[in-house]
Amino acid sequence: MENKRRVVVVGMGIRSPIGNTLEEFVKSLKERRSGICIMPEWQNIKRLRTRVAGLCNIEGEEELISRPYRRSMGRVAILAALSAIDAVKTSGLSEEEIASQICGVSYGSTEGSTGNQMDYISKIIQNRSLEGIPASWYLKCMSHTCAANLSLLFHTRGPFMASCTACVSGSQGIGFGYEAIKTGKADIMITGGADEVDFLSAAVFDLMMATSSNYNDRPSETPRPFDANRDGLVVAEGAATLILEEYERAKNRGAPILGEIEGFWTNGSGMHLTNSDARSMEECMLSALEDARRNPEEIQHVNAHATATSHGDEVEAIVINKIYGPNVPVTSIKGYMGHTMGACGAIEAIATLLMMREGFIASTLNLVNPDPALPPLNHVMGESWDQRFRVGVTNNFAFGGVNTSLVFSLV
């Protein structure tokens, strides 16, 4: 018998370089505000080319998380928890519903708290001693720290998944949560992704010559997705949480249904650990459409991964053009806040849902001269468009040859 369980979004929360509430986030997109800033503390790091990043301002917000839970959280888990607290609150779900076997967690991050990891390991190496190292240090640094701390914070007892797949961690977090509900393993899932910025985050890409460095004195002008003058990505931090629920259950309790996840797919390229692969990206996007039972012609907006790297943007443009043609509106919101790594898929999912609900399509900030060497796309440039759409796609790609595609719609 065909499985007809549908999955909807009933709560959302965000922490980003351009806003810590959904309202502020939308306002920043409409007003074309950049969240990129200069990092003075990176000036003395030898051979580090990039000097800019996207940071979240959560000063004082940590107190929203009670101390017993906060002790095992590094910055990445704190960002995740703050966004999750907001998302759970807007969902209207009771503490009893969340703290039950029908509710699980599917949450991603590139790794644990990089800042804590650097701090503790450097002390151990320099002092050749464990003196002053707290027993909880590993809990802040472990790769599944976000999912684990969220499960503890909300006392969930359902399915538990932690995606640690670099830049698709957040989108896989949502996708695996969607699959858990669709297949009847859960009725409610806390999903999303988070990441924090440390100079090591920048160094990873910097060593590969993939970071932006030509705009170190003009941070608001970078990154430049799809632009002829793009010179690389800008690392950033953030978190986004989406509460998913089985549709009939949500409808029966009168939940605020913010949108529906119609399809999801993830695959590997089996080709290269860092270079994007057109064939596997195409297969991923088409499989997500098949899961959603949608034709490419039905998609009314594509939220591109587009990190502003030379090769990545080129391959993605080729695949979008091949599947969707030159007319579907295309946006990359990384121009506003940089590449939030493990959080980007979840943040971009929320951006897509908010644009659908608010009746606008955000432009790609800093896209001034589309690269003529790339296939033509219907780039949203300049002011945002007042345009309603009901079906949109978000795509994300990561080191390791990992691809994701999610299909969203309004109910």
Catalytic residue positions, numbered: 167, 305, 339
Using the Cα atoms of residue 332, residue 17, residue 167 and residue 172 in order, give the sign of their dihedral: negative
- Helix/strand/coil for 123: helix
Residues 6+ apart with CB under 8 A from 40: none
Q: List C-alpha distances in Å: 155 to 89, 144, 222, 343.
A: 15, 16, 41, 23
Other CB atoms within 10 Å distance of the CB of residue 218? 11
* Look-up of token digits 């002829």: 228
State the Cα angle at 210 between 273 and 117, rounded to 5°. Answer: 75
Contact by Cβ (8 Å): 34, 41 = no
Rounded to a whole number of angstroms, the CA Rg of the chain reads: 20
- b or e along 151-168 (b: 16 or more beta carbons within 10 Å of the residue's beta carbon)? bbbbebebbbbbbbbbbb
Between the two ends of the chain, the Cα-to-Cα distance in Å is 24
- Look at residue 393 and give its three-state secondary structure: strand
Could you write out the DSSP letters of every residue in 312-335? Answer: HHHHHHHHHHHHH-S-SEEE-THH
Which amino acid, residue 1? M
